[in-house]
Structure 1
């Protein structure tokens, strides 16, 4: 099925912008695509590193080219798209490693790409925002690199521990990210046997001592009450299943659940733009991360799309399939980046 989905995706036409120069290249073995306005610039441009979504299963440089072309032209920026390796042939941590290595190379060579080192933005949607969060946290350990100015996370997935959050209860069957599809991607990418799905959903894979330690960051107590269900289901951990924990314990790594990074790392992150959608199963991940960042003094701008849903970003140019929320989201991102 993964290869079939990728085949269908490859048949979709690419909407090309005649005003944007597109260059394919490789950073080592990692395919990347550089987009920049064709018009000359008298000074170095803003740089955007973009990590695409797709659950580590779909999504590609071609699929996201029209979106990144729009970002390049509307914000007058140089956009680097990272074509990381994905399922079914590659598993964790390949996606993160590819994105981190490509980002480090780009940051080391900004001037050769015509980018102003003081105006670099990292941006990603869905699983791309997940890997972006992990990469930018890792970059805090590279003080010799140019500092990233801002991070933009569009409906990010940041927590693979607590699946009892209100948004998981409310939106588990809302396209394009249903609970079944999300768990298929999680299990395949992290090499977790699908038989542990119920234990993960009910919290039976969570040791009580770890829950006591991390509850302050993972519990829906940190989510504004207006996002709770009218009759919210309490967060009750299922009877602890040690075998399930041993099979899934790698999800407690900050590289997989960026919400769990220590306060020192969070405090070093740049100013942040968070986008969440009302009808999205992972909506509450963005809300939890917002609080974590704010608690550590990181400036956060938040845009909530009341009529939005996961994946709506890519429908902005699909004519009859485009919804008002698509352009509202994109315009909010463009406006924020133009202010950098």
Structure 2
């Protein structure tokens, strides 16, 4: 009887989750994408996961965010005898350290990795494959930072944990066989946001070794303009659809998701700030080649003061690193920036690249012509989840690390 009820519940869950899937925005995959079938399947699975989470939350069984976390963690990989792996704490922050067993002369480089997941999901476990690969292939001591997640730990707890872990590692690097002058911080998606924000937070710290470099993998860097060319062109491209980007960002910042409608229909940026930020965030600064798939200048929208009051904290450089002052940008370390053609966040990376280069900061740029958001994370999952673009991106990141 119990087994029968379990089967019935499973079948009901699947049917309802599929129904939720069809309520989500449909995929709009450009015809030039060579692995269309795989990306459609990935889109279905992603929407199914979101739908399943919503259904189980409506049933009062479990909150949707816990479902998404479990799905993202996936099945842990097998033991890797080429690495010594240990779980520690840097102050109160959970970390997992990967030490290559390969012999080396002198101290190694160190890498801190901040995982993606919009500050809501993602974990050390979810990024186990990525961190093992980077540590092993680059022969680096890698620290995966298990920062606290929202909503249990409201923003900016995530940033605070990453800063704490970075400072601790900079101060104790030699205890782990790491050269303090060869420490790189790295992150993908919202982890890229955290990477940029941490690098900015440390520029004036004279009591610490300087960061050697920062690696930003398709980072989210601003919430001033959601109508840049990449947002227009890729609004329906999996896996990070435009509507999903804004909705998850609002949840991360503990804001009402119903503000989505106002953000897309009204302007919440007052004129004085719009003029100031246009120097840094504008389609005018995007190379014409990235407008070829279509772009229409944004119409002038009426200003919504109440929305501005609610969302003003999101213009802080901790949340939107692209809006940092020139005096901060000019002192940042060398950077590696990875962008994907089919990603709503593509132009965030392009604009940050321009800002850094305008201030004489060396930038190594990797643009994946067939890349989409999340492709690097998926590269080591194999089978239906691995795409050629992700493998190429991982290779470029490893090559950059080897030069540090």
Normalising by the residue count of structure 2, what TM-score does the alignment of the two structures yield?
A: 0.82
Q: Separation in 2 of the partners of 1:237 and 1:20?
A: 55
How far did residue 203 of structure 1 move?
5.1
Q: Separation in 2 of the partners of 1:11 and 1:249?
A: 36
> Which residue, 286, 290, 293 being the options, matches 1:227?
290
> Bigger radius of gyration, 1 or 2?
2
> Which residue, 141, 146, 149 being the options, matches 1:83?
146
In the alignment, what sits opposite 2:273? 210
Structure 2: runs of 5+ lacking an equivalent: 1-63
Q: Separation in 2 of the partners of 1:74 and 1:320?
A: 21
Q: Which runs of 4+ in 1 moved over 4 A?
A: none
> Which residue, 312, 325, 328 being the options, matches 2:389?
325
How far did residue 65 of structure 1 move?
1.2
In the alignment, what sits opposite 2:400? 336
Is residue 106 of structure 2 the alignment partner of residue 57 of structure 1? no
Secondary structure (helix, strand or coil) at the match of 2:227 reads coil
Is residue 256 of structure 2 the alignment partner of residue 188 of structure 1? no
In the alignment, what sits opposite 2:22? none
Correspondence list, 1:229-268, <5 A? 229-268=292-331
Secondary structure (helix, strand or coil) at the match of 2:164 reads helix
Is residue 133 of structure 2 the alignment partner of residue 70 of structure 1? yes
Secondary structure (helix, strand or coil) at the match of 1:118 reads strand
Verify the 8 A CA contact 2:233 2:294 in the aligned structure 1.
Answer: no
Structure 1: runs of 5+ lacking an equivalent: none
How far did residue 229 of structure 1 move?
4.7
How far did residue 28 of structure 1 move?
2.4
> Which residue, 168, 191, 196 being the options, matches 1:128?
191
Verify the 8 A CA contact 1:205 1:242 in the aligned structure 2.
Answer: yes
Q: Separation in 2 of the partners of 1:36 and 1:89?
A: 31
Q: 1:25 to 1:49 in 2, by over 3 A?
A: same
How far did residue 230 of structure 1 move?
4.8
Q: 1:10 to 1:308 in 2, by over 3 A?
A: closer
Q: Separation in 2 of the partners of 1:250 and 1:208?
A: 17
Correspondence list, 1:1-340, <5 A? 1-202=64-265, 204-321=267-384, 322-340=386-404
Q: Separation in 2 of the partners of 1:304 and 1:188?
A: 29
Secondary structure (helix, strand or coil) at the match of 2:280 reads helix
The CA deviation string for residues 41-66 of structure 1, in whole angstroms up to 9 with x for no partner, is 33110001110111112211111111
Provide the alpha-carbon RMSD of the alignment. Answer: 1.3
Secondary structure (helix, strand or coil) at the match of 1:277 reads strand
Q: 1:203 to 1:154 in 2, by over 3 A?
A: farther
Q: Separation in 2 of the partners of 1:324 and 1:7?
A: 26
Q: Separation in 2 of the partners of 1:244 and 1:190?
A: 14
Q: Separation in 1 of the partners of 2:309 and 2:247?
A: 19
How far did residue 10 of structure 1 move?
3.9
How far did residue 277 of structure 1 move?
0.3
The CA deviation string for residues 249-303 of structure 1, in whole angstroms up to 9 with x for no partner, is 1111111111111111101001111100000010000000011001111011111
Verify the 8 A CA contact 2:183 2:211 in the aligned structure 1.
Answer: yes
Q: 1:83 to 1:324 in 2, by over 3 A?
A: same
Q: Separation in 1 of the partners of 2:106 and 2:319?
A: 38
The CA deviation string for residues 56-82 of structure 1, in whole angstroms up to 9 with x for no partner, is 122111111111111111111000110
Q: Separation in 1 of the partners of 2:377 and 2:153?
A: 24
Q: Separation in 1 of the partners of 2:273 and 2:262?
A: 16
Normalising by the residue count of structure 1, what TM-score does the alignment of the two structures yield?
A: 0.97
Verify the 8 A CA contact 1:202 1:237 in the aligned structure 2.
Answer: no
Secondary structure (helix, strand or coil) at the match of 2:303 reads coil
Report the count of equivalent residues.
340
Q: Separation in 2 of the partners of 1:133 and 1:159?
A: 11
Q: Separation in 1 of the partners of 2:90 and 2:197?
A: 20
How far did residue 228 of structure 1 move?
1.1
